[in-house]
Amino acid sequence: MPPDPNRDSASGEPVDLDSVIAELKARIEERRRAGDYPEDLEETLDEHFDRLVGVRPRSTPALHSELQAALRELSTQRFTRARIDPSSNLPAGSLVHRAMGRALSRQVDGVLRQIEEQNLLVTRAIALLGEIAATIGNEFDTKVLQQLDDLQVRLAEQARDVTRLEFGVAEARERIPGCAVDSWYGQDHFTAFFRGESDDLRARYTELAKELIGCDPVVDLGFGRGEFMELLAELGVRVRGVEPDEQLVLSARSRGLDVEQGSAVEYLQNVEPGSLGGIVMIQVIEHLSPQHVIDFVELAADTLRPGGKVVLETVNPASLYTYAHAFWVDPDHVRPVHPGFLEFLFREAEFSRIAIEYRSPVADSERLVALPGDDAQTALINENFDRIGALLFGAQDYAVIATR
């Protein structure tokens, strides 16, 4: 039934699609029978595309059916005397063969029966082997695929763990001492609130700034509001500022200061050795991790030229008063740095001169009041008061001026 071209099956009635499909299937059968469709059309097309896409052969159904056919043939093979060719090249030879065959028929038939029985056993064994091979293949496939899946899942788990660790590390790095705390408030507000207005600070640092006259170029690490930089500029010292807080950097830049955003240690790591005349770190070193404190002194030694100076100020841990007041106010403070340790570090780094200057004495109004009277007991109590006072009310800050 050749398809009539350009049919129009519409008669207004809805088309029954199921019967259309049945009709199409019937048509395919018809075409196959008529030889319009080649018998192996599907297989040829599949093989063609599989070859192009490089997919491994899916299975070996063809081989399997060949094996079945071979086994069928094997089991239907009959062993009979009749299939023994009696023909002979000698005259009347075939008569002799036939007579011999008849005479030996019992023996021959016995042997043939045994061979036939043997053949059945062999056929069954081969069939079993075929099945075993197929089973092994299937089991192998299943197992290998399962293992592959397991491996993939495990790999994925590990990849995910690594990513999670990366996130964790990134998160942790922000919390590591020496990196700025992630504060929503402005750092300038914090400084103004706890450390007074810029003018007070300028007065405090004038003398310290003068230490750096003639030490161009100077870098002020953690310049904060930039008071020290301004003092240096007024003294004619060429100074560049580095500060991690973006707001502070923007504010300083707007006032015409030469500044950039960054961290102290990282900055020094990228400075040409022996190229600096001075390094300033005012109230910064207590923000660094112990490792960074140690690294800083080594980097200072590397980057300063001979005669160059480090001028730094920090909270004095030898005064217990500072723990009650200044030190723990700032959440970004990591740990106080002892003057003795800093002196040791600069000495080890072969700085030629190290001066330590204690600053910001505690106001008298905060100190213990001596008992009046001058008898021996009062004197002893007052002497003890002095000892306690020295421990409690030591200078709140100290400065280190270390010359390379």
Partner 1 sequence: MIAPVQRERAGIGGYRGAYRPREFGIHQILAAAAPGDAITNAALEYRDVLRRVAPSDVFARHIAPGAAADVKPLSDYGADGTQGLLVYHASIGEPAVSAFLQSRTEPLVLVYHNITPAKYFRGLDDTFAELLVLGRYELEQLRPRVVLTIAASHFNAAELEALGYRDVRVIPPVVNPFRLARTLPDGATLTYLDREFNEPFLLFVGQLLPHKRPDLLVKAMHTASTYLGLQARLLLVGQNRFAPYADAITAQVRELNLDQVHILGAVPDDRLAAMFRRATAFVTVSEHEGFCVPLLEALAFDVPVLARACAAIPETLGDGGFLLPERVTAELVAEAIDCIVRDSGLRRDLVARGRHRLRELTQFDASIAMLEAIGEVV
Interface positions with partner 1 (CB under 8 A): 3, 5-11, 14-15, 17, 20-21, 24-25, 27-28, 31, 36-37, 41-42, 45-46, 48-49, 52-56, 149, 152-153, 155-156, 159-160, 162-164, 166-167, 170, 173, 182-185, 246
Report in angstroms how near the CB of residue 37 gets to partner 1 at its nearest.
6
**Cβ pair 285, 178 in contact under 8 A:** no
Q: Which is nearer to partner 1, 254 or 365 (CB)?
A: 254
Q: Which is nearer to partner 1, 112 or 179 (CB)?
A: 179
Phi first, then psi: what are they for 158, rounded to 5°?
A: -65, -40
Q: Which is nearer to partner 1, 77 or 247 (CB)?
A: 247
Q: Which is nearer to partner 1, 178 or 277 (CB)?
A: 178
**Tokens encoding 74:** 């094997």
Report in angstroms how near the CB of residue 298 gets to partner 1 at its nearest.
25
Phi first, then psi: what are they for 350, rounded to 5°?
A: 65, 40
**How many CB atoms are located within 10 Å of the residue 382 CB?**
18
* DSSP string for residues in 352-383: SEEEEEEE-PPPGGGSPPPPS--SHHHHHHHH
Beginning with the edge strand found earlier in the chain, give each strand of the sheet holding 353-359 in spatial order.
259-261, 239-243, 218-221, 276-282, 304-315, 397-403, 353-359
Report in angstroms how near the CB of residue 201 gets to partner 1 at its nearest.
25
Q: Which is nearer to partner 1, 160 or 353 (CB)?
A: 160
Report in angstroms how near the CB of residue 45 gets to partner 1 at its nearest.
4
Report in angstroms how near the CB of residue 184 gets to partner 1 at its nearest.
4
Q: Which is nearer to partner 1, 162 or 388 (CB)?
A: 162
Report in angstroms how near the CB of residue 185 gets to partner 1 at its nearest.
7
Q: Which is nearer to partner 1, 57 or 373 (CB)?
A: 57
CA dist list (Å): 104 to 24, 101, 113, 194, 248: 65, 5, 14, 127, 120
Q: Is 157 exposed, middle or buried (CB count within 10 Å of its CB: 0-12, 13-18, 19+)?
A: exposed
Encoded amino acid at 379, one letter: A
Residues 6 or more apart from 208 whose CB is under 8 A from it?
Answer: 228, 282, 311, 313, 399, 401
> What residues form DSSP beta bridges with 357?
399
**Tokens encoding 246:** 């973006």
In angstroms, how far is CA 2 from the centroid of its own chain? 66
Q: Which is nearer to partner 1, 52 or 82 (CB)?
A: 52
Report in angstroms how near the CB of residue 245 gets to partner 1 at its nearest.
10
CA dist list (Å): 198 to 102, 248, 358, 360: 134, 13, 21, 16
Report in angstroms how near the CB of residue 248 gets to partner 1 at its nearest.
12
